[in-house]
Every structure is written in C-alpha cells, then in structure tokens.
Amino acid sequence: MSMRIGLGWDSHAFKPGVPLKIGGLAIDHSEGLAGHSDGDVLLHAITDALLGAVSAGDIGSFFPPGDARWKDADSSIFLNVALEEIQNAGYRIVNVDTTLVLAAPKIGPIASDMRDRVAELLHLKPSDVGIKAKTPEGLNADHVAQAHAVVLIEKIEDELGLLSKADVEEMQNQLENLITEAHGTRPRRIPIRKAIYDTDDIT
C-alpha cells in the first residue's frame, strides 16, 4: 500500500469588523481574521497539506490572492479543489491532525464542533480528524492565528489489481467457455488490464 504525507501551515492577523471563521465554523468573537478570502486559517492549512501530499503545488497557485474572484470566498471551495486533486491522483485521506496557535478565542469549548465540521468537509469520520489548540506563549503573536496541519493519504487499489494473474486467467477461461457453449464459436480474447492512474496528471 502506497502512502504519502502532507504538511500545511498558515497564519492570519486579527482584524476588527470582519466575522471570524475557523475550521468552517462561524465563531462569536470581537475580531475576525484578515485575508483575501474568509481568512479561515485552519482550512487553508489543511488545503495546503492535501495539495502538498500529491505534489500539486499550494493554495496560492490555484487561488492567487490578487484574483478578485476569491475576494471573501468561502474556504471550503479551496478545500474541495484539494480533495479533487487527491482523488484524481488515485489517493484517499486516512487521517488529518491539526494544531491551532492563538491567544483567543478559546478553542477548547468548541473543539468538538470544529472537529465534526472539518470531518464533514473532508468526508471523514470525526475520529479521523484531530483538532488541538495552543497559546502563542513567548512568540509575541497574540494578535495572530496560526494553523498547522498534517495529512496521511493512501493509494486506492483498484479491485481488479487485487486479483492474481492466475485468477484473471481462470475468470477469462470460464467466460470464453460459456460463450462457446452458447454460440458454438470461441470468442476473440481481449486482454484484461488493470487501471493505471497517471499521478503526474493531477492539475
């Protein structure tokens, strides 16, 4: 089984007058996060981790910050594109682990809801998503939110590829015998090949 990991990181400064959204959750707080999109630092970090896991670039290469189309955009859009890249490369997510670093608001009371929301967006079970939070003690970053994300992905084996060559030959012989009995002529043999994923063509 082929497995790969991806690492993502993002940070945004707090800004008055904008809503706060982290991990796909709207959070009641006096300030939100500044950014060209909705500033969801956690979803941005996860998006970068997913893209990195299949060597597909980063969030900025898909959604340039200077592009007006992504002004105030919901970050779940970015996440969905990263999920498509994972799928196109023939992989699926095993688990995701994240750490938020911010002075406020407190994440502990909403960590469970945030985990459920992130799991929903990633089409995972909540038990496959880790949400942790730390304070930026000693970092002089009390007015900034940071997010770290690590993802593990595994190659999806196509079902035919799990059969041995002997199994495939036996199935083909049985099919040919049935056709011969029904029509009196032996069919032309068509080679059975396993599906091939082109992991270089993922954009």
pLDDT tens profile 131-148: 999 999 989 889 999 999
Grouping H, G, I as helix, E, B as strand and the rest as coil, residue 182 is: helix
* pLDDT surpassing 90 at residue 69: no
Predicted pLDDT of residue 66? 77
The Cα-based distances of 38 to 104, 141, 149, 153 in angstroms read 18, 20, 18, 27
Domain residue ranges in the chain: 3-155, 158-203
Q: 119-136 b/e with 16+ CB inside 10 Å = b?
A: bebbebeeebbbbebeee
Tokens linked to 56: 């597909």
Tell me how far apart the alpha carbons of residues 21 and 27 are, in angstroms, rounded to a whole number.
6
pTM across the whole model? 0.76
Average per-residue pLDDT for the chain: 87
**Which range is least confidently modeled, 3-12, 54-63, 108-117?**
54-63
- Would you place residue 197 in the very low, low, confident or very high pLDDT band (cuts 50, 70, 90)? very low
Predicted pLDDT of residue 203? 36
Q: What percent of the chain has pLDDT over 70?
A: 85
Tokens linked to 82: 């990263």
- Would you place residue 158 in the very low, low, confident or very high pLDDT band (cuts 50, 70, 90)? low
Tokens linked to 142: 């009390």
Residue range 104-131: average pLDDT?
Answer: 97
Predicted pLDDT of residue 202? 39
- Would you place residue 194 in the very low, low, confident or very high pLDDT band (cuts 50, 70, 90)? very low
- Which residue has better confidence, 39 or 177? 39
Residue range 14-18: average pLDDT?
Answer: 94
Predicted pLDDT of residue 117? 98
Residue range 167-179: average pLDDT?
Answer: 74
- Which residue has better confidence, 141 or 180? 141
CA angle, 26 then 32 then 35, to 5° = 105
Question: The CATH number of 3-155 is which of 3.30.1490.20, 3.40.1390.10, 1.20.120.1200, 3.30.1330.50?
Answer: 3.30.1330.50
- Would you place residue 167 in the very low, low, confident or very high pLDDT band (cuts 50, 70, 90)? low
Q: Tokens 């994923």 map to which residue?
A: 197
* pLDDT surpassing 90 at residue 169: no
* pLDDT surpassing 70 at residue 65: yes
Contact 153, 4 (CB under 8 A): yes
Q: Give the torsion sign (CA, 7, 40, 23, 61).
A: negative
Q: Which residues fall within 8 angstroms of residue 170, CB to CB, at 6 or more apart?
A: none
